[in-house]
Amino acid sequence: MINRNLAKVLSFRYKIIAFVLVMLAAGLVLLPKYEKHEGISPEQLLSNAISPERYISTDELADKLINQDPSFLLIDVRDEESFKKYNLPYAINIPLEKLLDEESETFLNQDEYNIILYSNGNFYADQAWIICNRLDYKNHRVLKGGLNEWFTTIINPKKPIENMPKITFDLYSFRKAASMYFGVAYPEQVKPATDTKNKPIKKRVIVRKKKKMAAEGGC
């Protein structure tokens, strides 16, 4: 037996399906929109934040600088005054309050360079790192310990005592050599002939002039 009513309905089946399809698509347009969570998810941010990968040690950085590794940008997040007083070679100054400026973004949001953020300690650099990560900027790292650590390890490395392992001595000699590269003079290097009394032989820090960066990072 043929169910006439059913057959009647089924003769319209394509029209019904088409109607349902349009309704579904229109539903998408009519649905109330809500603000989507922009940038990376909190879970992702947390896992980035607790990853030890996000730090670079002062030794690694010194090694990169000495070898003139072209693959990274050093970014100083302190204010301009401190930047002018002292900064790492080739660093770019982007003070924390200007982090979200448009011109800063050209440096921060790009894929070509590894970006190393530093401040006096970890703190401001970490803040900058969190913000940049939240915005899903890639390849950001923080100089562990910041400039303070830089001074105590690279510029003024502590001489190891005799009973320390060889590895410490190797590290010391690396750091000492690095500090010489960055302009520290050691007493044993200075020739006695040029030595004068009133000239105290102090560890000098020569501030290298910031080189003008060629247009990098797409600006």
Partner 1 sequence: MGPLIPNGLIPEEWNSIVAILIGLAFGFILEASGFSSSRKLAGVFYGYDFVVLKVFFTAAVIAVIGILYLDYLGFIDFNKLYIHPTYIWGAIIGGVIMGIGFVAGGFCPGTSVCAAAIGKIDAMVYIVGILIGVFIFSELYTLFEPIYDGYFLGNLTLMDSLGVSPYWFVLVFTIIALVAFFVVDLIRKRVKKVFY
Would you tell me which residues interact with partner 1 (CB under 8 A)?
18, 21-22, 24-26, 28-29, 31
**Closer residue to partner 1 (CB): 7 or 31:** 31
Q: Which amino acid is at 11?
A: S
Q: How far is the CB of 40 from partner 1 (least distance, A)?
A: 11
d(CA 29, CA 25): 7
111-149 burial, b if ≥16 CB within 10 A, otherwise e? eebebbbbbbebebbbbbbebbbebebebbbbbbbbbeb
Q: Is residue 11 helix, strand or coil?
A: coil
**Closer residue to partner 1 (CB): 25 or 213:** 25
Q: How far is the CB of 137 from partner 1 (least distance, A)?
A: 16
Q: Under a CB-based contact definition with an 8 Å cutoff, are residues 77 and 118 in contact?
A: yes
Q: Under a CB-based contact definition with an 8 Å cutoff, are residues 179 and 156 in contact?
A: yes
DSSP-assigned letter for residue 189: T
**Closer residue to partner 1 (CB): 2 or 29:** 29
Q: How far is the CB of 57 from partner 1 (least distance, A)?
A: 32
d(CA 133, CA 53): 13
Structure tokens at 114: 């590894």
Q: How far is the CB of 105 from partner 1 (least distance, A)?
A: 19
Q: How far is the CB of 206 from partner 1 (least distance, A)?
A: 46
**Closer residue to partner 1 (CB): 41 or 68:** 41
**Closer residue to partner 1 (CB): 2 or 24:** 24
